[in-house]
Structure 1
Amino acid sequence: MPDRYAAFCYAPELTAQQCRRFDEAIARFTDSTTGPRDGRTPDYSFHSQTLELPSEQIRQTRDLLRGTFAKAPVSTALVPTSLREGAKKLIVMDVDSTLIQQEVIELLAAHAGRAEEVRAVTEAAMRGELDFEQSLHARVQTLAGLPETVFGEVHEAIRFSPGAERLIRTARAGGHTVAAVSGGFSQILAPIAARLGLDFATANDLEVEDGRLTGRVRGRIIDRAAKAQALRQWSAAVGIPLGASIAIGDGANDLDMMSAAGFSVAFNAKPAVVEAADAAIWRLDLVVDLAGL
């Protein structure tokens, strides 16, 4: 049984030619379209068609749309109308390099004079030589001996990704639930969550004894499986179906969470994450995709 989808293209300034290319791509693939619809978000213009697709054609259609603008500064998305029409949504965001611009472990390591060592461990993990948990423990060990006052210093250095604060403010004003889940650290995420008014937040917990970091993590590791579990738990807690959830991330550690969500957005992401996501933000502004969709 086909489901209804809204197919979008969007850019800072869409041209009439780009809209025609989009319509022609849809027409080549299916004749079951309605629309088009044009409009603007605060930063972007968009053009869309509504179509019905069987599940086996969703990926093919998404890839077709992306290929249409492969060499143009135009993004595309294929969004279930059930998600767009839902009264309340759950938005779950990764933190490092998504909600914020930096990687917290690197900021902490810089205070310990171990930035190069941490970067080397990260690169080993990216090459597949270490899994996330191994990588996390190895990097956290480099922080042993740092005074806990470092948390305040790092927090002062945090910079939100463009559009992040506006996205959260707008979503919460609309009655939606917003959460953050991080492979980073609760000592950094907790004050961020309080400042932004997030409904839920979870991260790893660095062990501190006698005012100094021990180089160990307490409790369960927040890895890719834990991120997906958090999304499911928060969905159940607020009574929002998984189909009405949106997950935003940039790395492999976010893939399980993105797969579990009703809609996934790759933000400044690695190629494998872009390939798996329902939509990708190429310009660094978190408002773009969600405001227009």
Structure 2
Amino acid sequence: MSLPYVLTLVANRKHGTLSNEAIDIARNLVKGEAPVTLSEGEAVDIPCPTPEAGAPTPETIRATLSPFKVDAILNKNRGRRKAVLISDMDSTTFAGETLDELAKRTGTGDKIADITNRAMNGEMDFATSLRERTIVLAGQPESLLDEVLHVLDLSDGVRELVQTMKANGARTALISGGFDWFTARAAPLCGFDEHYGNDLEIKNGVITGQLLGPILGPDEKKTHLERLCAERGVKLQASITTGDGANDIPMLSAAGMGIAYHAKPNVRKTIERQVNFCGMRAHLFAQGYPASAIIGGEKN
């Protein structure tokens, strides 16, 4: 009979391979069995028993392995593969912030970056922060949005994450507290089934600085998660969500596997499962997918 828990270790191969020393330390921490290779030099599963009282916490495990720049994600073995995926956009699907990039081009970069940081750290009401960051765009041409779209890179491995989960029957969605102008273009690049964001008003090719309709914020992200699971016919436990900011915390907390991805400090304090060193492939390894099952990207 397999053990009830599994600790997944993932190394970012751009910075080195997963060392035997890191694996041995992790096994001792969780009293684990021999590792199962998911990707040679990159990821392993360590089957382990249910953590006992006084056992090292996920935070302790991460701290112990941090010198090796290894992500460690502890999960129950049962039900690891998820049927619903929701990803945030800025600094998650994209490797940067669309609003910050827009602000740089309007000469308000420092001011907007400060508002973004305060909002993502939960120090400022999200709706207020979004409206303050949007109003500075008033009078700018829509072409400014195109400029930003073409300078932002997709996060490493996000296409593999979306396409592999879709191939295995998952429903996938890109849901952002940013603008749906960007989600509408990022979603097909990655292969998401659907996308949602805030409606930026544009008239005659000019940004008005206003938003149309209600704000899509933290609670709305969670509501979308609940709806997608209901439509897919699964419980919340069968979902995986990922994001980096305070507005992602409700959906990260509600999902069966919520992963804080290169997240802000207050998010890391709140969300147990984290990816701090690696790309999006780590989300697949956390679900038990071997490299051979990943669609696109490197296979071994």
User: Structure 1 residues 18 and 194, CA, compared in 2 at 3 Å: closer, same or farther?
Assistant: closer
Q: Which amino acid aligns with 2:206?
A: R
Q: Which amino acid aligns with 1:69?
A: L
- Quick one: distance in 2 between partners of 1:218 and 1:119? 23
Alignment correspondent of 1:10: 10
Report the RMSD for the aligned CA atoms in angstroms: 2.6
Alignment correspondent of 1:261: 255
Cα deviation digits, residues 173-228 of structure 1 (max 9, x gap): 22222211111100111021123221121111101223321111111211111111
On the 8 A contact 1:263/1:278 being kept in 2, the answer is no
Q: Structure 1 residue 74 and structure 2 residue 66: aligned? A: no
Alignment correspondent of 1:44: 42
- Quick one: distance in 1 between partners of 2:55 and 2:196? 32
Q: 1:128 Cα deviation (Å)?
A: 6.0
Aligned identity (percent) is 30
Q: 1:59 Cα deviation (Å)?
A: 9.3
Q: Which runs of 5+ in 1 are unaligned?
A: 28-32
- Quick one: distance in 1 between partners of 2:131 and 2:205? 20
What is the correspondence of 1:113-124 to structure 2 with a 5 Å cutoff? 113-124=107-118
- Quick one: distance in 1 between partners of 2:234 and 2:259? 18
User: Structure 1 residues 143 and 287, CA, compared in 2 at 3 Å: closer, same or farther?
Assistant: same
Alignment correspondent of 1:176: 170
Q: Which amino acid aligns with 2:191?
A: G
On the 8 A contact 2:121/2:264 being kept in 1, the answer is no
Alignment correspondent of 2:59: 63
On the 8 A contact 2:30/2:56 being kept in 1, the answer is no
Q: Which runs of 5+ in 2 are unaligned?
A: 289-300
SS at match of 1:36: coil
Alignment correspondent of 1:224: 218
- Quick one: distance in 1 between partners of 2:54 and 2:87? 24
Q: Structure 1 residue 195 and structure 2 residue 199: aligned? A: no
On the 8 A contact 1:5/1:50 being kept in 2, the answer is yes
Say which is worse superposed, 94-103 or 153-162, in terms of deviation: 153-162
- Quick one: distance in 1 between partners of 2:174 and 2:145? 18
User: Structure 1 residues 208 and 15, CA, compared in 2 at 3 Å: closer, same or farther?
Assistant: closer
- Quick one: distance in 2 between partners of 1:211 and 1:138? 21
User: Structure 1 residues 237 and 126, CA, compared in 2 at 3 Å: closer, same or farther?
Assistant: closer
* Aligned residue among 91, 94, 100 for 2:94: 100
Alignment correspondent of 1:280: 274
What is the correspondence of 1:205-220 to structure 2 with a 5 Å cutoff? 205-220=199-214
* Aligned residue among 83, 106, 110 for 2:104: 110
Q: Which amino acid aligns with 1:51?
A: P
On the 8 A contact 2:88/2:248 being kept in 1, the answer is yes
Q: Which amino acid aligns with 1:7?
A: L
User: Structure 1 residues 160 and 127, CA, compared in 2 at 3 Å: closer, same or farther?
Assistant: closer
Q: 1:97 Cα deviation (Å)?
A: 0.5
On the 8 A contact 1:36/1:50 being kept in 2, the answer is no
On the 8 A contact 1:25/1:64 being kept in 2, the answer is no
What is the correspondence of 1:237-256 to structure 2 with a 5 Å cutoff? 237-256=231-250
On the 8 A contact 1:41/1:288 being kept in 2, the answer is no
- Under a length normalisation based on structure 1, what TM-score does the superposition of the two structures give? 0.85
Q: Structure 1 residue 150 and structure 2 residue 144: aligned? A: yes
What is the aligned residue count? 281
Q: 1:126 Cα deviation (Å)?
A: 5.9
Q: Which amino acid aligns with 2:25?
A: R
Say which is worse superposed, 195-204 or 64-73, in terms of deviation: 64-73
Say which is worse superposed, 231-240 or 71-80, in terms of deviation: 71-80
- Under a length normalisation based on structure 2, what TM-score does the superposition of the two structures give? 0.84
SS at match of 1:69: helix
* Aligned residue among 224, 232, 235 for 2:229: 235
- Quick one: distance in 1 between partners of 2:60 and 2:115? 37
On the 8 A contact 1:43/1:288 being kept in 2, the answer is no
Q: Which amino acid aligns with 2:24?
A: R
